[in-house]
Amino acid sequence: MASSLLVTTPDLTPPEYKSQWKPIVEDSETKSYSYYLPYSTTSTTNNFATREQLDRWFHTLSSLEDDETAWSDAHYQGELLLRKTAWVVLDDRCTCEYGYSDTWQPISKSQALQLVVQEITAAVTACCGGCATSINSCNLNYYPQGGGVGFHADDEFLFDGRRRPTRIISLSLGAAPSNNSSNKDWGARKFLIRPQKDTPEDDVQDQYHDVQHEIMLRHGDLLTMEGMFQNHYFHSVWPGDSKAYQDHHPWTQGERINLTWRTIVQHLDGSKEECRGIKCPLSTTNNQLG
């Protein structure tokens, strides 16, 4: 991996990590990039966290599953989805909530969830060098067995990713229970990428035929989506919003938690319908495009 990692900011990734990132999308025509750092099960020096830390993070977050102050329900077209979500902002002054599709997420009120997200954020941003200064929010998904998320782009008002380069860093957690520890795909899910081209994101019939990349994301794996990725590619986690694979499909075994760190570049300022009337105190510093 070369200096194109984290294209929106100078590449400050510590050299010992840089060589480990694998390019997934390097589309210079559309300035869209994605990189992948698999967690090394053999090396302790190339990882941003120990296996014990990853397990502890997963167990802390999953132990809060039924805590409604931590995780919220997600909906699509009026239907309750399998996955739950949580939204954390990393600046105390920020009051931005995060909505997409039929799901609207208030800021998670759980102190326990916020504390563990802060701890994970510190470890992940240390590994990604310069990203610590730009990241100011984290979205979490809790996938029970069988759960995924349909094709979409993270192109909401807050991130402005259709008009300017963004960088999203994703961490997957999915610890196998001790009686299943040899199953390396326990808690893993397939992450899919397809170009937006002419296929609308809700064209369910057609959504798999032009998938360009499939990456099995396992416990401790990191992945980025960078540059203009959100304007040119859709991503999903198989089997999307389907509830048809809750029993025994090898790609949907076990529970998975995903954290995606993002940069709010436009705080909700009440100006558009999608702000739902919310005006964040930080919206006065909204960074206008030149």
Ligand X SMILES: O=C(O)CCC(=O)C(=O)O
Nearer to ligand X, 135 or 217 (CB): 217
235 scored as a contact of ligand X (CB under 6 A): yes
267 scored as a contact of ligand X (CB under 6 A): no
Residue 139 binding target from Fe ion, ligand X, none, CB below 5 to 8 Å by type: ligand X
Amino acid code (one letter) for 54: L
Nearer to Fe ion, 4 or 101 (CB): 101
156 scored as a contact of ligand X (CB under 6 A): no
Read out DSSP for 99-118?
EETTEEEPPP--HHHHHHHH
* Integer Cα distance of 160 and 266 in angstroms: 7
Residue ranges of E strands in 77-221:
79-89, 98-100, 103-105, 137-143, 149-152, 166-173, 189-195, 213-217
Of these, 154, 221, 226, 255, which contacts ligand X (CB under 6 A)? 154
User: What phi-psi label fits residue 78: left (phi over 0), alpha (psi between -120 and 50 degrees) or beta?
Assistant: left
* Integer Cα distance of 175 and 57 in angstroms: 9
Residue 259 binding target from ligand X, Fe ion, none, CB below 5 to 8 Å by type: none
Tokens (6 digits) for 194: 């397809």
* Integer Cα distance of 35 and 187 in angstroms: 21
90 to 119, contacts with ligand X by CB under 6 A? none
Residue 170 binding target from Fe ion, ligand X, none, CB below 5 to 8 Å by type: ligand X
Q: Is 86 helix (H, G, I), strand (E, B) or coil?
A: strand
Nearer to ligand X, 242 or 279 (CB): 242
154 scored as a contact of Fe ion (CB under 5 A): yes
Q: Shortest approach of ligand X to residue 45 CB, angstroms?
A: 26
Binding site for Fe ion (CB under 5 A): 154
Binding site for ligand X (CB under 6 A): 139, 141, 149, 154, 170, 191, 217, 235, 237, 258, 260
